[in-house]
């Protein structure tokens, strides 16, 4: 078998920047753009929250459709690459436009504009990223080379994370047009090499297998019991993670009295700890296993997030310093969430292949996307309701009580994720996966040669 060139590993990894940056920017800054912490709203807060929730529902459904049609695609260039090649330019354009509302003050026109552009943004994100995530087995069957690919991806995701951290400073010095226009150009440039320079292996369908229909594939995926625990726990955790990311700019400006640039200063310790402990979790997973570390990730996140409630009431340092300490500590378990879920899902897909004889990576990412995006949407809608409890008027700033209550809800979601994942049945023993309740797990997977 020919060795995978180093350049191809880099090309694949570069697209991790595109996967990471726009998603992080959207989670943190779309609310700031339309529902400003200063109270200068461009759209009614609750209406905008409902728009994002509906858009996330649309995204979740579209993810499974994209995943299914990617799994059964018979295009000459492969199952994944056509989606990536034809989707990247429309995606970059819509990403830019979604941050450019047409009216510079509170208006229902802005709400209508967002109601069209935000779902379109999410659909296009799924068109390029779902096939990208499922591309690894199409590039190489060598397990070591697959690790190399995900390592390259993680490096460029870190580059993207620090780019995201600089957005607050960029907005402070420049404006929305230049900042988001620059990001749109970068996400295109980083994605094009993966879409154009990588080749997929030809796929040959086993003679006794016919293509599954969409609903057959969807329900077969949900029948995988280990997957249901991964699905529920990660989706619930995303409620809290997205809630905190969305909270930071409003917390910084409304509670701490800072600026957009201070958002970057508050996120920086979070990101630094995230990068350092990314490697720590990577090393510890080999010693303690993914199950134990996922539990640590969920429980530690809940305990740390809950500390935001006492910020400003502890006689040690300023509220800004206390907030920075909490965010730095939060970066530790979030590093685990960056490392572990894809690896855990890989075990689930391997187990599914042993049960069904089919390799269906993309549909698992797609079904997971439904619930993940739903909970992210619920998180945004909850924020636009809870954070403004006690405020007067449609253009008011969020309240201290509302923001701290939102932090407690985010902490509770992480603890619930911990309780759900306790029942996840897959363990690792001697390099193999087994199920704790004795269900079949030891049969070798069918050959894909």
Beta pairing, strands 426-429 & 432-435: antiparallel
Q: How many domains does the chain have?
A: 1
Residue 263 lies in a domain: yes
For residues 426-441, average pLDDT: 64
Q: How far is CA 19 from CA 163, 177, 285, 437, in A?
A: 13, 21, 24, 36
Residue 260 lies in a domain: yes
Residue 136 lies in a domain: yes
Q: How confident is the model at residue 437 (pLDDT cuts 50, 70, 90)?
A: low
Residue 32 lies in a domain: yes
DSSP string for 52-103: HHHHHHHHHHHHHHHHHHHHT--BTTBSSHHHHHHHHHHHHHHHHHHT--S-
Do 6 and 119 touch, CB atoms closer than 8 A?
Answer: no
Per-residue pLDDT reduced to its tens digit, 325-344: 999 999 999 988 877 887 78
d(CA 208, CA 79): 20
Please tell me the predicted confidence (pLDDT) of residue 224: 86
Distance of CA 163 to the CA centre of its chain: 16
Among 196, 87, 71, CA closest to 138: 71
Please tell me the predicted confidence (pLDDT) of residue 360: 74
Which pair of tokens denotes residue 391? Answer: 């405020």
Residue 256 reports pLDDT greater than 50: yes
Residue 101 lies in a domain: yes
Element (H, E) at 426: strand 426-429
Please count the CA atoms within 13 angstroms of the CA of 410 that sit on its side-chain side: 32
Residues 6 or more apart whose CB falls under 8 angstroms from that of 367 comprise 63, 64, 67, 218, 221, 222, 227, 231
In the three-class reduction of DSSP (H, G, I as helix; E, B as strand; rest coil), residue 433 is classed as strand
Residue 170 lies in a domain: yes
Residue 233 lies in a domain: yes
Residue 243 reports pLDDT greater than 80: yes
CATH number of the CATH domain containing 167: 1.20.1250.20
Please tell me the predicted confidence (pLDDT) of residue 446: 40
Residue 322 reports pLDDT greater than 90: yes
Per-residue pLDDT reduced to its tens digit, 183-199: 999 999 999 999 999 88
d(CA 47, CA 32): 15
Please tell me the predicted confidence (pLDDT) of residue 414: 96
Per-residue pLDDT reduced to its tens digit, 370-399: 888 889 888 988 988 898 887 665 556 788
Element (H, E) at 442: none
For the entire predicted model, the pTM comes to: 0.76
d(CA 383, CA 413): 14
Do 127 and 66 touch, CB atoms closer than 8 A?
Answer: yes
For residues 168-188, average pLDDT: 93
Whole domain around residue 309: which residue ranges?
Answer: 14-197+213-435
d(CA 160, CA 177): 19
- Mean pLDDT computed over every residue of the chain: 85
Per-residue pLDDT reduced to its tens digit, 404-421: 999 999 999 999 999 999
In the three-class reduction of DSSP (H, G, I as helix; E, B as strand; rest coil), residue 293 is classed as helix
d(CA 350, CA 361): 9
d(CA 164, CA 162): 5
Among 118, 30, 131, 45, CA closest to 85: 131
Q: Enter the DSSP assignment of 44.
A: -
Residue 324 lies in a domain: yes
């Amino acid at each position: 078998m020919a060795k995978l060139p180093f350049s191809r590993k880099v090309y694949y990894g570069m697209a991790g920047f595109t996967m990471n940056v726009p998603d992080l920017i959207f989670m943190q800054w779309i609310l700031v753009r339309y529902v400003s912490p200063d109270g200068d709203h461009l759209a009614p807060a609750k209406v905008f929250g409902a728009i994002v929730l509906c858009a996330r529902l649309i995204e979740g459904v579209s993810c499974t459709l994209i995943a299914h049609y990617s799994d059964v695609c018979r295009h000459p260039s492969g199952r994944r690459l056509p989606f990536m090649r034809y989707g990247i330019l429309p995606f970059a354009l819509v990403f830019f436009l979604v941050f450019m509302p047409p009216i510079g003050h509170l208006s229902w026109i802005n709400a209508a504009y967002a109601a069209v552009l935000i779902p379109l943004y999410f659909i296009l994100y799924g068109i390029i990223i779902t096939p990208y995530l499922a591309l690894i087995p199409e590039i190489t069957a060598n397990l070591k080379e697959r690790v190399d690919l995900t390592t390259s991806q993680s490096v460029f995701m870190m580059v993207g994370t620090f780019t995201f951290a600089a957005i607050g400073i960029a907005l402070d010095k420049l404006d929305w047009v230049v900042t988001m226009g620059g990001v749109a150009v970068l996400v295109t440039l980083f994605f094009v090499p993966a879409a154009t320079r990588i080749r997929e292996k030809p796929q040959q369908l086993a003679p006794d297998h016919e293509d599954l229909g969409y609903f057959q594939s969807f329900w077969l995926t949900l029948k995988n019991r280990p997957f249901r625990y991964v699905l529920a726990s990660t989706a619930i955790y995303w409620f809290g993670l997205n809630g905190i990311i969305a909270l930071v700019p409003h917390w910084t400006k409304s509670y701490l009295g800072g600026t957009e640039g201070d958002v970057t200063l508050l996120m920086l310790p979070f990101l630094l700890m995230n990068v350092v402990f990314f490697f720590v979790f990577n090393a510890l997973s080999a010693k303690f296993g993914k199950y134990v570390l996922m539990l640590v990730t969920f429980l530690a996140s809940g305990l740390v997030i809950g500390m935001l409630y006492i910020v400003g009431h502890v006689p040690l340092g300023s509220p800004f310093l206390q907030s920075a300490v909490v965010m730095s500590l939060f970066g530790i378990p979030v590093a685990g969430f960056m490392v572990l879920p894809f690896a855990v899902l890989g075990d689930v897909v391997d187990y599914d292949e042993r049960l069904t004889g089919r390799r269906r990576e993309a549909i698992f990412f797609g079904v997971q996307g439904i619930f993940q995006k739903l909970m992210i949407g619920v998180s945004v809608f909850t924020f636009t309701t809870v954070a403004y409890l006690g405020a007067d008027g449609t253009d008011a700033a969020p309240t201290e009580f509302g923001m701290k209550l939102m932090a407690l809800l985010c902490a509770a979601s992480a603890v619930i994720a911990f309780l759900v994942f306790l029942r996840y049945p897959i363990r690792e023993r001697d390099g193999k996966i087994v199920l704790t309740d004795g269900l079949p797990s030891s049969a070798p997977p069918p050959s894909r040669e």
